[in-house]
Amino acid sequence: MSKIRRDKERLIKSLIWEGVLKSSHCIEAFKRVPREKFVWPGFEDEAYIDTPLPLGDTGQTISAPHMAAYLIEELDLKPGQIVFEIGTGSGYQAALIAECIAPTGLDRRYWGHVYTIEINEVLVEFARRNLIETGYGDRVTVIRGDGSRGWPPELESELYDRIVITAAAPRIPTPLIKQLKKNGILLSPVGRGFLQDLVKIYKASDGSIYETILLKCAFVPLRGKYGF
């Protein structure tokens, strides 16, 4: 067994023991998605250390595995859902989400789809290549643009079952709340400084919005019209 495979198995067991990874489909996603294919070249041996890693000189990072696990668990993902991610980074989180809503082995007719948007041109190409090479290119669409405005930008239609922002916003962008479907969930870090609040938004069937603060977290700032 290779070192990377041993490290991966050890990490997954640790995340399960810690209670971060709980549901069978999220555990399976972690087993299937090769994080070493999404880290910046030269960091492959560190892929399964539970820490964020830099993405070249872009100023962005690939989130620590425990945070990636926490997000997919809190999103309550199911096959067939349409998910919008703001902040593609290397594409790793999008691949995990895709494995939950369009699992490998499930009939394609029942697949969901991930739309993920990134403002940094270098990362758009990096993520797109990573997703294609790992077999997720047909389950994830990578878009270059300002995700804080939603996609399509400022369109006031309920499009997405789930929305996740992987960068810290000053507040939840209004266009994203409008694009969240009823009975939908939105996750976003909110706040300034090194630590922010991870906020969970639930839009009820009558359109009412309910907000919960889940925990403290550390993300890079959201860029764009509704970012910093």
Active site residues: 63
Give the list of residues 6+ apart from residue 105 with CB closer than 8 angstroms, or none. none
Q: How far is CA 199 from CA 71, 82, 161, 163, 187, in A?
A: 11, 20, 17, 12, 6
CA 61-65-66 angle, 5° bins: 120
For residue 64, give the 3-state DSSP assignment: coil
Q: How far is CA 29 from CA 22, 32, 204, in A?
A: 12, 5, 28
- Cα dihedral angle (36, 37, 41, 42), rounded to 10 degrees? 20
